[in-house]
A and B are shown apart, each in its own frame.
Chain A
Amino acid sequence: MEMNITRREILRFVGGSALGILLTPVPWKALDDSAIWTQNWPWIPEPVRGESSYKLTSCTLCSASCGLRARCIGNQPVSLSGISAHPLNSGALCSFGIIAHHLRYHPARLSRPCRISGKAGASGSTAMAFDELLLEVAAAINDASASSQTVAIVDGRPGRTASHLFQQFAAGLPNGKYITAGESSLEILGSMFEKPPGPLAYDLDNSKMILSFGVPLLDRWGTPARTARYLQKKSEGKQRIIQVETLQSRTAGMADRWIPIRPGTEAAFALGIAHVILKDKLFRDASKDIAEFETMIAAYPPSAVAEICGVSQDFIRDTAREFSANRPSVAVIDGSANSRHALAAVMALNILVGNVGRKGGVVVHREIPSPVALSKNKMSPISTLDAIPDHSIRAMLIDESLSGSSLPDGLLQKKLTGNGILVSLSPFVTERPFCTQYVIPSPVFLESLAELTGQADRESSSLSLSAPLVPEPAGMVDPIQFIQRLGSAAGVMNIDSGTTEELLKKRMTAIYSEKRGSIFNASNGQTSELKGLTSPDELWNVLFAGGCWMDSPETVRSLPAVRLTSVSTADRIKNIPPESNQLLLLPCAEDVIYRNSEISPLMSKVGQESGLRPSGCKVYLQTATGDALGLTDGCRVMLQTKKGSMQAEVRLDPSMMPDVAAAYSALNQQNIISLCEMNQDASLQPTPVKIQKV
């Protein structure tokens, strides 16, 4: 039989196949399966599976040391929340803490030590082995010792066991200096006594009236529980906050009263208040020797201050009256953003109302027991950067392993010699283009055992431990390991030895044997007296699981005599003449405290996703000011000061003070700072600026 295969046959075959296919499950099944296939692309990450559990620890991102619970899937933390009964943070976390478990994955995280060449545009960073780096740094240190130059170690979180080892290191060098970057306003207050009364702190929980000069009390300063506590006390009539600040920050918006003063006039305002207090005899304590101070403030009557600050005289008088009558009251100011004169003027107010050493005012903390401090190895005393002559530090070591303290880069730059090096212990690289920098990677939150001490906003100190919940990557160095290894490389032998855990356990034993204070046990939510514990190991276990030890408050019987002379240089306070059209540039201090530690990439959601873009410098202007300059919301401009220029995007904000331009950039804060005039103490002055549309 002949088979003549033509197109017709093929078509008939195809027709039969088509009908056949429809009578099979193929089309429906293939469609169903393809639909599933298109919804399971392999590049879309899926959450891992595992057992869900909660682990307790403390946050290291700032000295508030919040107790938190980490929800873990297997061993992986996937979310964080506060421990509600924890006395330090009462269950609250700040927005950095909420996403702190992501920090380990930050793209800018360091994995190896490196040397970064100082000059801008140079070769950049070179990765090095830790031993190699130690040798180079040790060489610089020995060079410094040989030529009588200073080696300084800067500690952002004083009071830790590591801090005491740093002090030992400094003591072991001929020109070693140990510097703390804690609350400088409180340091200045301490210096107003014949001898410093001890570690000072603001007892905000017990204060009836807080006069705050720009401190973001209700927005990420100290414990995140502050806002809830304030709102509660406010409703009971037990606490008021007066916020003295140029910008309407969130704290200014929520405070009982906001007093907007011209930029940079904090010192004048404080002295104006002091004037009213003294002249109206609102509070007088004969034991204080303040004659020199009194003479100086004669030049700051309310009429003069009203003119300088741009506020009404009534505000000044009312504030003074309230501050002295509504006691215990306390005046606070942010050390990182203000000049020394401003800090001194505000701290003088605390002296005038006699709140130092009193509950609700500025309290004196006791020293936390520390066996390292008592060991045979000497510790050098605490210095300040101010006290060190300019261009005299040959090697500056900075412990930035724990974030949350602000380091004045401008000042650091001034103190370094021409060939000075900076050695930074940090999980991330910080841009410091003014010198050669060595960076050593330290572990990130949740990776290693860390000790958390100190509370600047509480009636007594506390000590917590941050327990490691995840494995530490290879090559990380913690502060104790850092100083021990550096010490032996540089030939400094008088540093206590032992692993981090051993040294911290020794501290537990010392605290336990003092038998004072109370502990909070996060596992059962109970606070009890320390002396109820049976052994130092029990103390360790409580602290290792999200608990904390709180010292008992110090009862101060007598204070050293007061010497209010450090404010005498107030005549150098810049008086900004009230000229119109003099637009002043004010760098926003928002988040500058965290500049030296990168924030989680999710943080961009708070800044509406565009805040972290390289061109994301924003300049805020009062609507009327912007209109007068012909600027619209969102237009691009050039900011021009005597020191330089940069581009920014305008934001018109009706809450801005007229003739003030507030510039903020999450990524380029350095640029903004470089546009501003700098004081002797490296604090920034509000600087005349020209703004033009580009």
Chain B
Amino acid sequence: MESNEKKPRYGMVIDLDRCNGCGNCTLACAVENNVPPAHENANERTGITWMRVQKVDNNRPYPENRSVYFPLTCQQCDHHTPCESVCPQKAVEYDTETGIVAQIPVRCLGCRYCMTACPYHARYFNWWDPEWPKGMETALNPDVSTRMRGVVEKCNFCHGRLQAARAKAAVEGRRAIADAEYIPACAESCPTKAIYFGNLADAGSEVSRLAKEKNSFRLLEQLGTEPKVYFRSEQSWVHEQMNAKLKTAEKEKIHG
């Protein structure tokens, strides 16, 4: 149960040894958050994938070459949140109640400064107005608003589901929600249960315990952003590769 003294800080631990790169998380996220199918001119950089599966390999030659897939979403930086600090519109806010870095697209003016600031490439710009194949727009999720062209959007840890969980608790007279009542679409859809989600401020939660294990790490820790998304793997090469120093910009190799 949520601690009454401390506010929750929601975070994730993704087990890279369990992820098989299936893409359920990417799709469930798009369904939950009303992300439209790609515009016909969209490419890897201009399409919108709040959650996207990337691949990293161990840099060994064939046949010792091995990869892991890692689902990449907003890392929900806890400290010196880069996107929040650069937004001229205050369209980004670190929510002190939950730890979620809130992106409010209606306030955004589309300068894309936050996209430049984000070291994880987790933010996406609506280059086009959303368009769904005829009829598909009737299957939108009412718990998340749609966005128009010209604004930036990103993962909000499915806060629509948090709001729904809170409303359910309120009807029952509770202020606190149970752990199991709030789970984002990606974690729910993962068939291998590679994504753990929960309250990092609750020392007894599974996420908290896993985050503290020695096999858990975060991306680009040296930047000091204190992301709340942890990754874990028992393969040491994964740690080495993913903790690699910042590479100079090269053509991004993205494999699905």
Contact = CB atoms under 8 A, between A and B. Distances in A.
A605 B139 contact: no
A50 B140 CA distance: 12
A133 interface: no
A47 B191 contact: no
A60 to B, nearest CB: 18
B27 A99 contact: yes
B20 A254 contact: yes
A73 B142 CA distance: 8
Interface string A76-101: 11111110000000001111001101
25 contacts: A39-B106, A44-B146, A45-B132, A45-B140, A47-B142, A73-B141, A78-B141, A80-B31, A81-B28, A81-B189, A95-B24, A98-B27, A99-B30, A102-B139, A104-B135, A105-B139, A106-B133, A227-B192, A253-B20, A604-B47, A605-B37, A608-B254, A633-B253, A634-B251, A654-B57
Interface string A93-134: 111001101101111000000000000000000000000000
A656 B65 CA distance: 9
Interface stretch (A143-151, A218-226, A293-301, A350-358): A218-226
Interface stretch (B38-46, B89-97, B169-177, B210-218): B38-46
B32 interface: yes
Given A250-B21, A609-B43, A610-B43, A47 B140 contact: yes
Q: Main SS of the interface on chain B?
A: loop
B27 A95 contact: yes
A657 B193 CA distance: 31
A654 B55 CA distance: 12
The 4 closest A-B pairs by CB, nearest first: A609-B47, A92-B191, A606-B23, A45-B137
Nearest to B137: A45
Nearest to A36: B106
A79 B160 CA distance: 14
A46 interface: yes
Contact of B191 (A94, A101, A607, A633): A94
A517 interface: no
Given A45-B140, A228-B193, A656-B62, A219 B22 contact: yes
Contact of A39 (B22, B137, B148, B188): B148
A475 interface: no
A231 B18 contact: yes
Q: Main SS of the interface on chain A?
A: loop
A602 interface: yes
- Chain B's interface size range is 35 or more
Contacts of B147: 44
A398 to B, nearest CB: 26
A210 to B, nearest CB: 16
Interface of B: 18, 20-24, 26-28, 30-32, 34-35, 37-38, 42-44, 46-47, 49, 52-53, 57, 59-63, 65-69, 106, 129-130, 132-142, 144-148, 185, 188-189, 191-193, 251, 253-256
A28 interface: no
A607 B256 contact: yes
A258 B21 CA distance: 17
Contacts of A95: 22-24, 26-27
Contact of B139 (A78, A624, A654): A78
Contact of A47 (B49, B129, B146, B256): B146
Interface in A234-289: 248, 250-251, 253-254, 258, 260
A457 B146 CA distance: 41
A102 B136 contact: yes
Nearest to A260: B63
Contacts of B28: 79, 81, 98
A491 interface: no
Contacts of A98: 24, 27-28, 31, 189
A94 B24 contact: yes
